[in-house]
Structure 1
């Protein structure tokens, strides 16, 4: 069962995402800020990280940079969930981006895309993939028939 770390300062959103992940067979753990997120990522080495950008303590951009520089966490797929700082997140070339508000379907597609990639065990050989193209930001828009609208899920 893949483990996903959700770093989100909005308690309702964090708990909702964790509940949805658990309902879909994931092990999910939450962090209320970037500092706690880094501690959990290093201690538990999740299979994937979903992180907000605007947070107290350390923001998501700082969390991303710190985790990419740590050998144990450098190759963990990292998906930003943000409503306002998408341009800064794209510049960092994370593994994925979800623009708030997003649907549960978009979130699960982004997760599946990352978990289906081959794992890289040596961070020195890690390729940073740019998933900032418009097609990756609006996957749900291309599949309206299958979208489960949950705007409140990813709203701040």
Structure 2
């Protein structure tokens, strides 16, 4: 009884985490930029923690707003594909890491693990790219 319940709850939790990953994949690029700016300013510019965090949040907001504005206002397909690809690449990296972590919980060898992780990166990056390309210009 408990074994069956744990299997069902395990599948439900993995499904929930995958749903959350696909839902939040659009925000991977602003989060990546915010974290990088925060880290660089804290360690290299010797800013205080609060100032570095606020600058990182501002940089992430600027990336999100500028990307959405370009996609919402541009009618040039090359620019739209380029911006969508640049915003979807961190989502693909997050999908790779998530699939690699989930495969690492089992007893798999390295080749199938990286194949599944690459498939996860393609799925998450492709879903984020498709959602970004779906933004219609005004």
Q: Give TM-score scaled by structure 2 length.
A: 0.27
Answer with 1 or 2: which has the greater Rg.
Answer: 2
Give the strand-richer structure, 1 or 2: 1
Higher relative contact order (CA 8 A, sep 6+): 2
Q: Give TM-score scaled by structure 1 length.
A: 0.25
